[in-house]
Amino acid sequence: MKIIIEKTDDGSATLFVPELNEHYHSTKGARTESQHIFIEMGLKASASTAPRILEVGFGTGLNAWLTLKEAEQSGRHIHYTGLELYPLEWQTIEQLGYISNDEQLTTSDRQQPAIELFKQLHTSPWGKDVQLTPHFTLQKVETDVNKLRVENGELRVDNANDSVVNSPFSTLHSPFNLVYFDAFAPEKQPEMWSQELFNCLFVLLDEGGILTTYCAKGVVRRMLQTAGFTVERLPGPPGGKREILRARKTRNEK
């Protein structure tokens, strides 16, 4: 699948997929969008002291990277699970230039080149927990999110790739406190925006858990409500979409 690198309005880059006529991030600002929707409206809104996060669509790793930085700044221990069916090569990610070669990241135990940590996000093994910093542990799972199933309260994956097919899926650390829902747009990949999937994600979230997504379409809001979520419309990122959605699994819901 052909992929083209394009600059967005805030100076950060994104990827464009001609086959889908779709970008990985908002052309109004890739980094601005991710920071606003998933960090400001998601992670910072969570009351959990040690959030377990599930990302639907690991993609370029930008959401994971911003979460790692926030983990070290806040001191909250975060376990991050990223689901991705089509992993990107590091050689492609490197060209996006999200991290400068001289940028340093200060953690609780040392200072190290940020580019090395960002590379580890993409080159660490799939299907295993990898502690990248004192406050951030990553697990990447190469699978089709539509094959997620909940059986007896546990997460299963039907016909998963070899990297996870023999793994006990309880290691996905459900229930989660946060879901970053960052799939391609509904009109581009309608199979990623189904009632069945939102029902599954509702079950995987702990009570009080949050799901955030850039898509504020009425049909998506109604599916989230049908799944059991309490849904609110929030202002979108500066210079970007007018509204986004934040859904909560509130007490005494189904």
Residue 13 within any structural domain of the chain: no
Residue 17 within any structural domain of the chain: no
Residue 18 within any structural domain of the chain: no
Amino acid at 106: T
- 154: confidence class by pLDDT, cuts 50, 70, 90: low
Task: Spell out a b/e string for 192-205, using b for 16 or more CB atoms within 10 Å of the CB, else e.
Answer: bbeeebbbbbbbbb
pLDDT at 208 over 70: yes
Residue-number span of the structural domain to which 167 is assigned? 28-248
- 171: confidence class by pLDDT, cuts 50, 70, 90: very low
pLDDT at 175: 86
In whole numbers, what is the pLDDT of the chain averaged over residues? 90
Residue 1 within any structural domain of the chain: no
pLDDT at 192: 94
pLDDT at 113 over 50: yes
Residue 20 within any structural domain of the chain: no
**What does the pLDDT look like over 177-203, one tens digit per residue?**
999 999 999 999 999 999 999 999 999
> 10 Å Cβ neighbour count for 82?
25
**What does the pLDDT look like over 128-143, one tens digit per residue?**
999 999 999 999 998 8
pLDDT at 58: 96
Amino acid at 24: Y
* Range from 32-46, 54-68, 107-121, 216-230 carrying the lowest mean pLDDT: 107-121
> 10 Å Cβ neighbour count for 237?
22
**What CATH number did the domain enclosing 89 receive?**
3.40.50.150
Whole-number percent of the chain with pLDDT over 90: 79
Residue 147 within any structural domain of the chain: yes
State the burial class of residue 89 (Cβ atoms within 10 Å of its Cβ: 0-12, 13-18, 19+).
exposed
pLDDT at 233: 97
Residue 254 within any structural domain of the chain: no
**What does the pLDDT look like over 224-239, one tens digit per residue?**
999 999 999 999 999 9
Domain count, the chain: 1
pLDDT at 156: 65
Residue 253 within any structural domain of the chain: no
125 phi and psi, to 5 degrees?
A: -65, 150
pLDDT at 109: 80
